[in-house]
Amino acid sequence: MYPHPSRRTALKAGGALAAGTLPGLATGTAEASPSGHHDPWRQVPRILARIRPPTFRRRFFDITDYGAVGDGVTKNTAAVRAAISACHRAGGGHVVVPAGRFVTGAIHLRSHVDLHVSEGGVLAFSPDPADFLPAVPTRWEGTECYNYSPFVYAYGQRDVGVTGRGMLDGQARLGPWESWHRTSGLQGPDQKLLRQMGTDGVPVRDRVFGAGHHLRPKMVQFYRCRDVLVSDLTIVDPPMWTVHPVLSTNVTVRNVTVESTLYNTDGCDPEASSHVHITGCRFNTNDDCVAVKSGRDEDGLRVGVPSENIVVQDCDFSGRWGGITVGSEMSGGVRNVFAEDCRINPPDFPGHYPVKYPLYVKASKKRGSRIEGVYVRRFTGRAVEREVAFVTMNYNNGEGGTRPVSVRDIHLSEMRIDGARAVLNLVGLETDRLSGVHLSHCTFSGVRGPDAVAFTDDLTFHKVTVNGVEVS
């Protein structure tokens, strides 16, 4: 039985923002270099030095030794779980999925265990929702609840990994998941109910979904974990968000390829997590590629944990919405997101959809809170569908909220993008202005229209050219 997540003191609407801080979210994001100029990138080496992937004992537990059969038909949930339990009891090591196609239900990882999917090995997840019960504690679109288990799941564990050159196949097209989401069909009423529970402060233990409900599970979720590694895998056909660390720290996601083309299937969503390194990954998604989140509305404010010190490097982005996205679930706050050396719509990695926005920041007065310090540099790419950067504090027309919201310190440098509707779409609010958007040493070509800027202070350009003309 999983314990109930602890409840924290509710934040009064706008109270923390009025004081200028949020729990765990300090003010000020840049530091001075010896020349006197602020260089936030000086923080990155120190952040990366604190992110250390877990290592595992050289003990190997082959799932076929526990009865697994890789015929693509036999259901192997019990065998996989037995191997994980044996590995954990022995002090840790590698649970090995050999070559073959192994069908399974929910996989629950334990501390010190690496689930290693060998080259030629496939974990194919059952299309039957019953294979992901009983319901477990999770966060669903930023609100805590009990729901269907994520396909690969760890709760409160330490030193856990999912690695190998094999594949995780969500087989979501074979299950009911897409039909639950399409046009908000069956999922809509449950989604509305959960959000209302979060608004009303219903105890998490009473927010029970799962059987008889229609909230899709995540593919891989680490919930309240530390020292996490996801490495080298190909992950295809998830039912919802693909890799989702929540309330976790010291997380490495490296050399992972995501093919997620059903509705609302983000690539990687670090949520209310700190010290996260996403590197060498390729994202072909039907939503955001990397989306940094921290909880939704009243429930996100109740938990009050920000995402901070996130570093994204050397990734390929082909996704329907944002390359690097912050929000829209950001009520716990976001600080210090760094992304560099990524490629937008690369010709050698053609996706199903072109990226709409290489940088997409989404906030609103319903969510409240603060986004402080988003730094993007050395992105190259082509054929951006809309703007290079869309930063909005009025997401979904503000969603009817009244909380103070702050977005500040957005930096783009050394960008080389060919083809976009415009460079900037900046949407501040008359009551809550966007502050500190800085572009430097950027070259944009094939730009079809002008920027749109509203209620924005301290917007600067330094050595920026658009269609061959320097912008002042």
Mean pLDDT score, 154-175: 97
Name which residue leads in pLDDT, 147 or 32: 147
pLDDT band at 183 (very low <50, low <70, confident <90, very high): low
How many CB atoms within 10 Å of residue 430?
7
Q: What Å distances lie between residue 125 and 31, 109, 122, 180, 232, CA to CA?
A: 47, 15, 9, 18, 19
Percentage above 70 pLDDT, the chain: 92
pLDDT score at 398: 66
The answer, yes or no, to whether residue 59 has pLDDT greater than 90, is yes
Please determine, for residue 9, whether its predicted confidence score (pLDDT) is greater than 50: no
pLDDT in tens, 408-459: 999 999 999 999 999 999 999 999 999 999 999 999 999 999 999 999 999 9
- Kind plus residue range of the DSSP H or E element containing 108: strand 107-108
Contact 81, 115 (CB under 8 A): no
| pLDDT one-digit tens code per residue, 90-115 | 999 999 999 999 999 999 999 999 99
Ordered structural domains, the chain, with CATH = 31-471 (2.160.20.10)
Q: Which residue has the higher pLDDT, 291 or 8?
A: 291
Dist CA 315 CA 379 (whole Å): 10
pLDDT of residue 184: 63
Q: Is the pLDDT of residue 70 over 80?
A: yes
CA distance 466 to 309: 31
pLDDT of residue 37: 54
User: How much is the pLDDT for 3?
Assistant: 55
b (16+ CB within 10 A) / e for 236-256: bbbbbbbbbbbbbbbbbbbeb
pLDDT score recorded for residue 340? 98
> Which of helix, strand or coil describes residue 15?
helix
pLDDT digits (tens, 9 = 90+) for 355-392: 999 999 999 999 999 999 999 999 999 999 999 999 99
Could you tell me which residues come within 8 angstroms of residue 31 by beta carbon, excluding any fewer than 6 positions away?
Answer: 38, 39, 40, 42, 43
Going by C-alpha positions, the residue among 253, 210, 261, 256 that lies closest to residue 237 is 261
Confidence category of residue 11, pLDDT binned at 50, 70, 90: very low
Q: SS3 for 261?
A: coil
What pLDDT score does 7 carry? 34
Predicted pLDDT at 395: 94
Q: What is the pLDDT of residue 61?
A: 98
Name the strands in the sheet holding 452-454, side by side, starting at the edge strand that comes first in the sequence. 290-292, 322-326, 357-362, 387-392, 422-427, 452-454
DSSP one-letter string for 284-304? EESS-SEEEB-B-HHHHHHH-
**pLDDT tens digits for 276-330?**
999 999 999 999 999 999 999 999 999 999 999 999 999 999 999 999 999 999 9
How far is the C-alpha of 367 from the C-alpha of 248, rounded, in Å? 21
Are 121 and 95 in contact, with CB atoms under 8 Å apart?
A: no
Distances in whole angstroms, Cα of residue 383 to Cα of each of 69, 266, 388, 415 = 45, 20, 10, 14
| Matching residue, tokens 């800085």 | 438
Contact 387, 414 (CB under 8 A): no
Question: What does the pLDDT average to over 131-153?
Answer: 98
Q: Give the mean pLDDT of the chain.
A: 92
Structure tokens that stand for 438 in this block: 């800085």
34-48, 340-354, 368-382, 384-398: which has the highest mean pLDDT? 368-382
